[in-house]
Amino acid sequence: MPAPERIPPGSMSSSPETLSAAELLAHGELTVRGRVGEASNAVLYCSVVHEGREAACVYKPVAGEQPLWDFPDGTLAQREVAAYEISEATGWGLIPPTVLREGPYGEGMVQLWIEADQEAQLLALTEDEEAGEGWKAVGPAQIAEDRTALLVHADTPELRRLAVLDAVINNGDRKGGHLLPAPDGRLYGIDHGVTFHVEDKLRTLLWGWAGEELPAEAISVLDDLDRALTPGAPLVTRLAELLTGAEVAAVRARVAALRASGRHPEPSGLWPPIPWPPV
C-alpha cells in the first residue's frame, strides 16, 4: 500500500486545497500522537488520514474544556469553528481549516496543524520611546522590578487584517503565541475558543492601530461581510448551528459598528486590554 500523501501546512486558502483539507479533517481517521504544551484545556496533536491523504492536526475535545465564568460550558470548540467560518467569509484565510467532529475522546474541534516560521518576528520589546519603522506601539511592558520597555508589533497588512477579524469575532485572547507566521509568508491565527461573547471582550496584543482609520480593503471586506450576515444567508445559517441567536446578532452589530466608525476599535477601559499571560 502506498504511503499517504501529506498535505503541507501552507496549502490553505479559498481554493481546492482548502476544501480538501477540510474534508480530510472532517472524515479522516484521527489518531492521537501526543499532547500539546500545558494548556488549561486538552490540546492533542494528531494525524488524520483519508483516501490516501494525511496531515497533522490539533484536536480539542469538548470533554477536555475547563469551565469559564463568562462563557457557557462546552462551547469553545464551536466558537473555534465559527471563527474559521467568519475568516473564510472575509476571503483572508487567516485561520487554518477547522471542523467540528467526533474523535477518540468525543466531539471536538479539529484544525490543520501549522508549522510556524521560527525566524519571523511579529512582536518585540524596545527601550526606545517610540516604535521604529515597520512597527506599531502597543504600550509599556514591565520587564524588571524597576525597568520597563515598549512592546511593539509588526506593521504588516496581514497582521492588520487579523486585528480586524479579532474585532469582528470579539476575540478575548489574542496572545503572541496565537500568531503563526508560516514559512510561505502567510499568517495564521489560532486558539479562538474565547470569542463571540455578546459583551465587549476584545483583549489583544494588536492595539497598534487603535483609533486609526480602517484600510480601504478592510472596509470593502466588512461591506461584503455585512451582506453575508443578512438573516437567512448561508453564513448566518451556519453560525446559528454553532452560536446562540444573540451571539450571531452581536457579530452583525460589531460589523455594523466598524463600518459606521471606519476605524479600528480602542480599548473599552472596562478591563485590562491585553490578555495574560501575553504570550
Q: How do residues 185-202 score in pLDDT, each as one tens digit?
A: 899 999 999 999 999 999
Residue the block writes with cell 520597555: 149
Mean per-residue pLDDT for 6-19? 44
Q: Cα(72)–Cα(100) distance, rounded to whole angstroms?
A: 17
- H or E, element range at 61: strand 53-61
* pLDDT at residue 4, rounded to an integer: 47
Among residues 40, 39, 28, 231, which one has the least CA distance to residue 111? Answer: 28
Mean per-residue pLDDT for 25-33? 96
User: Is the pLDDT reported for residue 271 higher than 90?
Assistant: no
Q: Cα(178)–Cα(243) distance, rounded to whole angstroms?
A: 22
Q: Cα(84)–Cα(72) distance, rounded to whole angstroms?
A: 20
Query: How many percent of the chain have pLDDT more than 90?
Result: 76
pTM of the model: 0.91
User: Is the pLDDT reported for residue 112 higher than 70?
Assistant: yes
Beta-bridged to residue 58, according to DSSP, are: 45, 111
Question: Residue 28 — very low, low, confident or very high, per pLDDT cuts 50/70/90?
Answer: very high
